[in-house]
Chain A
């Protein structure tokens, strides 16, 4: 039996370490001259405090649906050959990947633009939350999207 995963079967939210090389191998395409991989990784400090690890929580069904919609929209807008995103939940250590986005297109401009679009929307909209666990034993829910303070609408976001 062929157990090779396909792009369509990949979970958008994963509770085990992200297989970055495995995901990248799925994104190759004969029509793609550019493949861009973004990995959001855990820093060892936040706002001057030493961080021990992050813990991510998600509403998995809603996050999965939303990420699928974002990927489909990006594929259509930039005519991508592949678009992949996977976000961790659970405990993620320093230097480990918390989220990976891969985009493949004929030329690099589209792959870069689509990749930024996808990660920006995931960070602002996907029901996924991080909790910073500091070396001093304290913890803090992290840097929430605060766009509604400017837009006046919790469903409207500001992207760079």
Chain B
């Protein structure tokens, strides 16, 4: 599974990386990411997730070929 992160999340993770562990939903993905960097807990709790240019929630079933985009809270304007 490919992971893309943006903005402040890049202070915690590489902009793009892959995970090989089985993760079935966004909660499991967040838990895995916290094992990589537990300092990201606060910002991850506020992030949205997207796959194929659509936002997803925890009910969305992830698969190993997905590219998951992790969207921090907005700060445009």
List A residues at the B interface (Cβ < 8 Å).
Answer: 40, 56-59, 61-63, 65, 87, 98-99, 119, 122-131, 141-146, 148, 154-155
Contact of A146 among B48, B71, B73 (CB under 8 A): B73
With contacts A57-B7, A129-B7 taken as known, whether A62 is within 8 angstroms of B76 at the C-beta atoms is no
Task: Output the residue of B8, B74, B76 with the most chain A CB within 10 A.
Answer: B76
Contact of A126 among B50, B72, B76 (CB under 8 A): B76
Q: Tell me if A127 and B46 are in contact (CB < 8 A).
A: no
Q: Which residues of A contact B7 (CB under 8 A)?
A: 57, 129, 131, 141
The count of residues in chain B whose C-beta lies closer than 8 Å to any C-beta of chain A is: 18
Residue of B nearest to A40 (CB): B77
Q: How far is the CA of A143 from the CA of B73 in the complex (A)?
A: 9
Q: Tell me if B46 and A148 are in contact (CB < 8 A).
A: yes
Q: Which residues of B contact A154 (CB under 8 A)?
A: 46-48, 73
Q: Tell me if B53 and A148 are in contact (CB < 8 A).
A: no
Q: How far is the CA of A40 from the CA of B76 in the complex (A)?
A: 10
Interface of A is mostly: mixed
Q: How far is the CA of A127 from the CA of B47 in the complex (A)?
A: 10
Q: Tell me if A123 and B76 are in contact (CB < 8 A).
A: yes
Residue of A nearest to B71 (CB): A127
Q: Which residues of B contact A155 (CB under 8 A)?
A: 48, 55
With contacts A59-B71, A129-B6, A144-B46 taken as known, whether A119 is within 8 angstroms of B53 at the C-beta atoms is no
Q: Tell me if B53 and A61 are in contact (CB < 8 A).
A: yes
Q: Tell me if B74 and A126 are in contact (CB < 8 A).
A: yes
Contact of B76 among A65, A130, A146, A148 (CB under 8 A): A130
